[in-house]
Amino acid sequence: MELRRVTVDNTIKANANMAAFDGVTHKLVFLSVLGYDAAIKKLVKEINRKTTVYVERFGNYGTGYKEYDVKRHKDQATDYGHTVISIKDQVDVSESGVVSLRGYVYAELTAEEFNLRAATHERGEIHEDLINLVHDKLSQHMPVAIIEEWKDYVVEQVFRNRLVDEIRVFKDENDKLRVFKVSIDSNQLSNIIQNGLQRREISIMGTNTVSEEMAEVTGMDSYLNAFSVPTANKLEDLFTPKFIPGQSEYNENMQTFIDYAEYKGISLYEPQKIVVQSTSNNLDKNNVSFIIARPGSGKTIMGAAAVYANAKKPNTTNIVLCPGHLVEKWAAEITKYTPLSEAIVVDDFAHFKSLEPKINDRRRRKHLFLVISTSTAKTTYEKRPAVIWSSAKKSYCCPKCGQKLLKKEFAGTGRNRYEYYRDLTELDFTKEYAFNQVCDREVRYWNKESRRWDTRPCHEPLWTPFMKEEGGDRWIRLPRSQGWIEKIHMNKLFDELVVRTDLDRNESRLLSALSEAIQTEEDGTTIVRAPRKYSLANYIRRFYKGKIDYLLADELHQYKGGNSQQGQAFGDLVNSARKIIGLTGTLLNGYADSLFYILYRTYPQLMKAEGFDYNDEKEFARTFGVVRSMNRFNMNAAGNPTTRVGSGSEKFLPGVSPLVFTKFLLENAVFLNLEDISDDLPNYEEILIAVAMDEDLQQAYEELERELRSNIGWGSGGSKIMGSMLQALSAYPDMPYDQPAVIHPDTGQTVVTLNDLPVFERTKETETVRLCRERVAAGDKVLLYYHWTNRTNVAERMTELLEAAGLRVTVLSSNSSSTRDREAWIKERTPETDVLICNPTLVETGLDLLDYTSIIFYQVGYNIFTMRQASKRSYRLNQTKDVKVYFVYYQDTVQEQALSLMATKLQASQAIEGDFSEEGLHAMSNNEDLLTQIANSVVKNIKHTVDIDVFAGTKERTIHTDLDTENMPFDTIFSEVPDAKREVVAEFIDNKVIRIEFRTYSLKDSLVNKTKKCKKKKIAAQVTATQSNTNKLMFMLRNKQTHIANLL
């Protein structure tokens, strides 16, 4: 075997027995290396960065960041390893949606078996293995479908069109490995197929005539309507359903649950039963399942039923993690409807400790559900040592088995190195370390299966929660963060340290802390410190891992944070449980990174297989979302950019690739709409009410808008006041008096002072009062939402107006009740209430407000989650009356623009939850975040009109915009660059360029619009979104270049 030296950056070395390089791109394609495993690891790490690799007598070739797949093998008997590195296929999408592929295929063929020159020029035969390899590569990456009958023709034409090259390979002379590069785009592949069909060299099911059905297809919806049956059959071939209605049967546990729930007064709908059984079937093979069901569809009872249906023993121990105001609801429904089950709401850490005998009771004959709120799970108490000092043994002992606690250490070096065990002393329990967490001594126990005495590790926890009532009896926490010490050892340890002259820094700190603690004790002024907070979820993970059978995580979307306490608590409980069921009604907030930590905590192996580490949140967003990179440059006298100013910046924008749906959710999630459950549900209607402003209010608003628009330009750093500006524009029409000024966050200077108008009943207030009286007269109770609590007094103002109109009003605030008692607080006051006024965030999840069948959004914020959840508070399965939701807004204001843009984002978020539509996919390709879109609309005076059809469910949905260039503070020119990867944004004053920005969009970019300067006239402007791979997929779906089945 011939070996050649491989060097990276002139330092890291290994030996290669095989290598391949692309002479066109000058990149390493394939490398097989042998050597010390540690050196190979380092070499692979450097290769997956942007670097240069030198292979002896072969030359220097480049590599790219994370461009390579790696397969490693280590000989366990030696330190040698073998690693194979191969470049990933490169797939790019142009601004017009054309997909380009540069892929590599590896085949073992001799020159006699296949001659590339003959296949290309002389129409020689192509080896069957090579045909299959190229076909698989095209099918994997190209959006153009290639049916099996076309395989030979298509691959042959790919070779004939010289789209395949053979690249240089270094190998052993007896090795038959050959590497071929396939360079093709979707247009070339489409032309090959079209030409074949026109020449009748290939056909579709034996014919070359377009069917009448296909001729009528105009979009994805019409395609699926026309070909729903074959598409469904294709999906069934690709994925095995977990449950097939009419064919599959409910298991015995499920039948028991159905019968018991019906006996208790509730009958599950057939779609609910299917969701439960399919979730249970999935849990038999996988550890995690998601139930993504719209608000009001019965997620609580479906979650409990899924646990019972899947349970393999009669005494499972389960945890329900949910928001604080839902704990009582969960406990009540589980106790009432789940057979042989007990649900307990865990109040705090002490309560959990008191339940440990019940949790550990193997003779328990009931399923135990511990309902824990997110606030209880994330923080409880600090821990202290639980060990016991033995004067006889002169060592700390285990509190359970009583044996001496030992620590393994090593002495000597080289061949003389040996291990020994020493006793754990007072200095070993100042803080918690890996070696002092649990007792590892062997204890005897009676093995019932073998009917003899065996041994096993004790595993008793050596640390216990520190309770306040313990005071300072035995253990004391030393000052200066020096940890814990038992009081009986303080003086002894102090005496040992004080006589020494060679104390290091840590020992000196310990001596000072001991001196202070001893003096405090002698003075009789011992300070009993309150316990520090400690995570209950972390405690469960450490001491109950594997003992929790099921975790039910309600409102799953709330655990999306990587560093948030409730996100970490969710991660701890996931690691504790054997099976996880996630429940949510709104999984996505529009951003790809909102899914990252949820997916990583629940599907870590799948995420690792996709190449993501735990901290790769941004990389995940770059792969499946949209990210905008921006750089600033100085300009020379000729107006050309020169040196870059500062470092570049990235901004993550809304937009999620449908591949997230197919890669992570399709096989592990079940989706349910209320419409799927019952055809007998009452009507649900969303109604828009546009109100014209009073004349003085309109003049004041337009003046405020102009003033704010002039202050939000780049030159003044106005982008920093965007949030304050939007709040002011949103809230001012609802309360045009006593409004705080808009303050610049950096300088503290007043940017805009808002004028006070007279206080009298405005048109929006009049319309809202009229609407409330009308709905109450119709027999409804009204739920009135307001959002801007920090800038308006809507609750007080509307209470005054509504009571003057003879209506009974109740106001719910965050101080009205605890989150746990909120639903009971509302029910208690409902009989004496006509109108309930509150912020939607107080009731957005879990609460059933069935009495309030008319909902009025007096103000709308910018949170899609909140709007979706709050609008369905009374539209539940057991609702018997029609539900009407009203959105009251002022025309020609930011209120209208926000409502319009939120409607499009709503469609996008529904698409990732299984509710696909052409409009939803179109909305997903609009990648600007909501606040930025509204701010840009204000700056450029773009008027968005709310389309009633969006709310009414009509398929035709449009937003009309007008661009008023007369009042724009500066001209913005979007100009194309050759590689279509950058967007140049220039700012002018008096026709002079004062600043230029280069915005670079990841994953190939933008649809570029040129807006030229126009004076004293209005022109129609098409607002186009920047594009990433996500946009291109959406583009191809909408334009029939591919369809949703190709994503599978």
Reported as a single tens digit per residue, the pLDDT across 972-989 is 222 222 333 334 444 433
Nearest to 635 by CA among 349, 934, 314, 997: 997
Residue 404 — pLDDT band, cuts 50, 70, 90? very high
Q: Is the dihedral of CA 460, 461, 465, 470 positive or negative?
A: positive
**CB neighbours of 501 closer than 8 A, spacing ≥ 6?**
none
| pLDDT (tens digit per residue) in 839-877 | 888 887 767 788 999 999 998 877 766 777 788 778 877
For 518, half-sphere exposure in the C-beta direction (CA atoms, 13 angstrom radius) is 14
| pLDDT (tens digit per residue) in 706-730 | 887 776 654 444 455 667 777 888 8
**CB neighbours of 563 closer than 8 A, spacing ≥ 6?**
none
Fold of 252-380+534-617: Rossmann fold (3.40.50)
Instruction: Answer yes or no: are the C-beta atoms of 270 and 297 closer than 8 Å.
Output: no
What mean pLDDT do residues 8-19 have?
A: 80
Encoded tokens for 89? 């296929």
Residue 813 scores a pLDDT above 80: yes
Tell me how long the chain is: 1048
What mean pLDDT do residues 789-807 have?
A: 89
Encoded tokens for 311? 């349970």
Encoded tokens for 733? 């029409």
Encoded tokens for 960? 């009309």
| Cα separation, 142 vs 1046, whole angstroms | 9
| pLDDT (tens digit per residue) in 536-574 | 898 899 899 989 999 999 999 889 888 788 888 999 999
The H or E element spanning position 517 is helix 505-523
972-975 and 982-989 strand pairing: antiparallel
| Cα separation, 1041 vs 1035, whole angstroms | 8
Give the residue carrying structure tokens 């001196």: 515
What is the model's pLDDT at position 372?
95
Residue 969 — pLDDT band, cuts 50, 70, 90? very low
| Cα separation, 315 vs 611, whole angstroms | 39
Residue 179 — pLDDT band, cuts 50, 70, 90? very high
Residue 941 scores a pLDDT above 80: no
Encoded tokens for 754? 């808002």
Ranking 170-184, 717-731, 832-846 by mean pLDDT, the lowest is: 717-731
| Cα separation, 757 vs 345, whole angstroms | 51
Residue 182 scores a pLDDT above 90: yes
What mean pLDDT do residues 431-453 have?
A: 86
| pLDDT (tens digit per residue) in 1001-1044 | 333 332 223 233 333 222 222 222 333 344 444 444 444 444 43
- The average confidence (pLDDT) of the chain is 78
Q: Where is mean pLDDT largest: 286-290, 589-593, 890-894, 1014-1018? A: 286-290
Residue 906 — pLDDT band, cuts 50, 70, 90? low
What is the model's pLDDT at position 943?
46
| pLDDT (tens digit per residue) in 228-286 | 677 767 666 666 778 888 889 999 999 999 999 999 999 898 999 999 999 999 999 99
Instruction: Answer yes or no: are the C-beta atoms of 93 and 1003 closer than 8 Å.
Output: yes
pTM for the predicted model, two decimal places: 0.57
**CB neighbours of 797 closer than 8 A, spacing ≥ 6?**
735, 765
- In the chain, % of residues over pLDDT 90: 25
The alpha carbon of 144 is separated from its chain's Cα centroid by a whole number of angstroms, namely 30
What is the model's pLDDT at position 276?
95
Residue 337 scores a pLDDT above 80: yes
Nearest to 1038 by CA among 218, 224, 98: 218
What mean pLDDT do residues 365-384 have?
A: 85
| pLDDT (tens digit per residue) in 892-903 | 888 887 777 676
Higher model confidence: residue 726 or residue 688?
688
Ranking 110-124, 429-443, 465-479, 1014-1028 by mean pLDDT, the lowest is: 1014-1028
- The long-range contacts involving 159-165, CB below 8 angstroms and separated by at least 24 positions, are 159/116, 159/119, 159/120, 159/126, 160/120, 160/123, 161/188, 161/192, 162/120, 163/188, 164/116, 164/120, 164/134, 165/24, 165/116
What is the model's pLDDT at position 468?
55
Nearest to 296 by CA among 581, 820, 675, 786: 675
| pLDDT (tens digit per residue) in 31-73 | 888 888 778 888 888 887 767 888 888 788 888 777 888 888 8
Look at residue 176 and give its three-state secondary structure: coil
Q: Output the CA–CA distances (angstroms, integers) from residue 419 to 310, 410, 472, 778, 949, in the order listed.
A: 48, 4, 38, 84, 77
Encoded tokens for 609? 């297989």
| Cα separation, 406 vs 442, whole angstroms | 12
Task: Give the single-character DSSP code of 404.
Answer: B
Higher model confidence: residue 481 or residue 317?
317
Q: Output the CA–CA distances (angstroms, integers) from residue 1024 to 467, 561, 657, 915, in the order listed.
A: 60, 31, 18, 24
Higher model confidence: residue 476 or residue 258?
258
| Cα separation, 903 vs 923, whole angstroms | 9
Nearest to 1008 by CA among 989, 971, 983: 983
Residue 144 — pLDDT band, cuts 50, 70, 90? confident
Q: What are phi and psi of 536, to 5 degrees?
A: -65, -40
Higher model confidence: residue 959 or residue 856?
856
Q: Where is mean pLDDT largest: 186-195, 620-629, 647-656? A: 186-195
Encoded tokens for 172? 């052993």
Ranking 314-328, 364-378, 811-825, 909-923 by mean pLDDT, the lowest is: 909-923
Residues of each domain in the chain carrying CATH 3.40.50.10810 = 252-380+534-617
For 12, half-sphere exposure in the C-beta direction (CA atoms, 13 angstrom radius) is 20
Nearest to 950 by CA among 941, 959, 942, 963: 959
Higher model confidence: residue 992 or residue 822?
822
Residue 964 — pLDDT band, cuts 50, 70, 90? very low
